[in-house]
A and B are shown apart, each in its own frame.
Chain A
């Protein structure tokens, strides 16, 4: 019994690892490396990657810029309806992307809730790159906000409190104490949100449509390439996997680096040994 248990665990682990890596491995086995490099020269593939990067980066700036302070307030503030608010913000996580796309159209579409107002401002969002950014923000930001709330909550409350008693203003406490201490968790949430945004498909195709060079992101280009050239679709898919691996690895390296150099160690170590 005691010997059997680790074996069971090992079998489960092997099954999970095989299941999750085999499809990705198979993708690379079907696309020779030379083909992969050649696809980078394909205009539509390149255009799609550029659209994906541009929109993902812009969306990510918005997600970090607005999501970080919002998550800080939700993590540290105590006010009525806080739990309800957090749950509401998590809703896009469990929503089918097509529903997200319909919701975005119903809100910001030409015939949507704010359609008339947006039009008065000269803004028609659907079918533009802004629509891609909006779709990515909608589906990806909850991943970041969720991680950020957890990261801020994990900060030992004694440390910001100490900073405050030493006369630091709230903004300084946030910027110099809470933010550096939560950096690891923020980074993890940020990576997850970026990756989710990069893979966004359903909400984008409904809200932004798919036009090469304008709104056609890499996942949409893969779907589109299925109609003309199956090999291009495979190669683009493999490229996206390689790209995602790159992002994940870079973030992990960056995080282990910031952890070893950031003030979080020097700040948190005394609090633990005190």
Chain B
């Protein structure tokens, strides 16, 4: 999956490598054109960092992977920098689901992120909050990331999936979407952390992400600000 040899911790003139959760695929490359952005599932990227992958910054779609790395002394203190919402996506020509409750209907093929995959855990949290546990029995596949969910729905093989609003926005035309009601929305936070010990270029990159450049890019991508 990852073909970067693990040499040096982003020191000196080495180009900066940023590990970013897949859902940040549109935003992360806009922060600084010279930096190399590697996209993947937050857990997958965390596992690679644990094995010494050479990245300067880690952007995680949930707190667990980054907190675990922090406890292991691999990254510095994580900072929440953006938020997101969940939406239900359906195939463009399909009327199978028009409300969150429709995911419970018998025969509905639902696709979610897997256990421990942030987008999947958030979706299960929302369904439970809405009292729609039965929708979990309609699940036909647990995907490794939001792209897996989107693909199955966009191809028309599944009737509904739950992804981030930003994913659905990037795939508009290929899927229809409607938001999960606000009262069931889980608290979604994206975290950024420097990989220890933290190089000069990584620090600069993080500053840009938290500054005006990053805020504008996040806004354009449909992400929400966090009140910090």
Asked if A196 CB lies within 8 Å of chain B CBs, one says no
Taking the complex as formed, is A109 at the interface, i.e. its CB lies under 8 A from any CB of chain B?
yes
A209 touches B116 (CB 8 A): no
B114 close to A (CB within 8 Å):
yes
A230: chain B residues within 8 A (beta carbon): 47, 50
B-side interface mostly: mixed
A201 → chain B, closest Cβ, in Å? 11
Interface size on A, as a range, is 20 to 34
Q: Tell me, yes or no, whether B193 is within 8 Å of chain A by CB.
A: no
CA distance in complex: A211, B142 (Å): 6
Q: Is A215 among interface residues, defined by CB-CB distance under 8 A?
A: yes
Q: In the complex the two chains form, is A226's CB within 8 Å of B157's CB?
A: no
- Give 1 or 0 for each of B29-57: 1 = CB within 8 Å of chain A CB: 00000000000010110010010000000
Q: Is the interface of A mostly helix, strand, loop or mixed?
A: loop
Check if A227 is an interface residue, CB within 8 A of chain B: yes
User: What 1/0 flags go to B155-179 for Cβ under 8 Å of A?
Assistant: 1111000000000000000000000
Contact B114 A109 (CB under 8 A): no
Q: By the criterion CB–CB under 8 Å, are A110 and B157 in contact? A: yes
From residue 77 to 116 of chain A, which have CB atoms closer than 8 A to chain B? 105, 109-111
Report Cα–Cα, A230/B72, bound state, in Å. 14
Q: B142 and A210: CB pair below 8 A?
A: yes
Nearest residue (CB) in B for A233 is B47
Q: Say yes or no: A210-B50 contact (C-beta < 8 A), given A224-B114, A226-B44, A228-B115.
A: no
Query: Is the C-beta of B111 less than 8 angstroms from some C-beta in chain A?
Result: yes
B156 touches A226 (CB 8 A): no
CA distance A131 to B144 in the complex (A): 19
Q: A105-B155, A227-B41 are in contact. Are A210 and B47 (CB under 8 A)?
A: no
Contact code string B15-29 (vs A, CB < 8 Å = 1, else 0): 000000000000000
Cα distance, A148 to B143, chains bound together (Å): 37
- Cβ of A223 within 8 Å of any chain B Cβ, yes or no, is yes
- Give the complex CA separation of A206 and B150 in angstroms: 12
Give the residues from 212 to 236 in chain A that come closer than 8 angstroms, CB to CB, to chain B.
212, 215-216, 223-224, 226-228, 230
Per CB-CB distance, the 7 closest pairs between chain A and chain B, nearest first, are A209-B141, A227-B116, A228-B116, A127-B140, A111-B156, A227-B43, A126-B157
21 CB contacts below 8 A, A to B, read A111-B155, A126-B157, A205-B148, A206-B151, A209-B111, A209-B141, A209-B152, A210-B141, A210-B143, A211-B140, A211-B141, A223-B144, A226-B47, A227-B41, A227-B43, A227-B116, A227-B117, A228-B43, A228-B115, A228-B116, A230-B47
